[in-house]
Amino acid sequence: MERKPLVGITADFTQLGAHASHTVGDKYVAAIVDGAHAFAMVLPALGDRQSIDDVLDTVDGLLFTGSYSNVEPHRYGGEPSTPGTKHDPARDATTLPLLRAAIAAGVPVLAVCRGFQELNVVCGGTLHQHVHDVPGLADHREDDAAPMESQYGPAHVVHLTPGGKLHALADGRDEVHVNSLHKQGIAQLGSGLAVEAVAPDGLIEAVSVVDAPAFALAVQWHPEWRHAQDPLSSAIFRAFGDACRARRAARTHTTAAAALA
């Protein structure tokens, strides 16, 4: 039986009681296992304590997850955060260099929410720290007091770029409804990124990497939530899984050819 591709899922570094922990939400794991049909592996936020080359030699794809933490503003030349802002420097030290290296190496990448913002920062872009305070932009935050089904329910439409990667995955639809659970967002678009979707207020909601050697897509919303119930979400994870399978097949072929040489 053909082995499934291995997908690394980025973890947050957080404190659970008295214990330092590396955590990943089950919804991301489920979307990789059931949506991408891949083997899931949690990737701890260890920075340079684990070699990027070793990580890329191990995985067939990477999912950069959402998080309650924000990228530290010094990473993109932003103003200091307001008091009480949650940061995760261990994650920044892990995901930012890894994301850059993965794209260059042709490792399939799917980035969600914080991961979407990480990709923009990696490409030299900047972030709004409080989208809801920017004149002309809407409030994209969820209602923390609402039930989870409401928090992750459809919040607004996004307009898909004609001829783009998301447009194709959406079977040519010009707009789709997405959830919205973020207070940060793209201010200046990073170099080498193509806009794939825009919210009605003009905020960029999805990007792809121009000329990337493999699948490299990032979305501000959360397609992993109830992924099987939404056609576009299902298509995103299916396409990501297919790209990871293609990388695994190519690596297996290369290894076999080297063994015969």
Sequence letter at residue 213 = P
Quick one: which H or E segment has residue 178? strand 175-178
User: Among the options 196, 222, 227, 244, which is catalytic?
Assistant: 222
User: Among the options 113, 128, 205, 244, which is catalytic?
Assistant: 113
Of 3, 92, 64, 34, nearest to 229 (Cα)? 34
Q: What is the rounded CA–CA span in Å between residue 132 and residue 81?
A: 15
Are 95 and 115 in contact, with CB atoms under 8 Å apart? Answer: yes
Q: What is the rounded CA–CA span in Å between residue 123 and residue 99?
A: 10
In the annotation, is 224 catalytic? yes
In the annotation, is 79 catalytic? no
Quote the DSSP letter at residue 1. Answer: -
In the annotation, is 113 catalytic? yes
Number of residues in the chain: 261
Radius of gyration (Cα) for the chain, nearest Å? 18
Of 95, 82, 114, nearest to 185 (Cα)? 114
Distances in whole angstroms, Cα of residue 89 to Cα of each of 1, 72, 179: 41, 7, 27
The tokens for 154 are: 């459809």
Please report the beta strands in the chain, taking only residues with DSSP state E, as ranges in sequence order: 6-10, 12-16, 19-23, 39-43, 61-64, 109-112, 127-128, 156-160, 175-178, 185-186, 193-198, 204-209, 216-219
Residues taking part in catalysis? 113, 222, 224
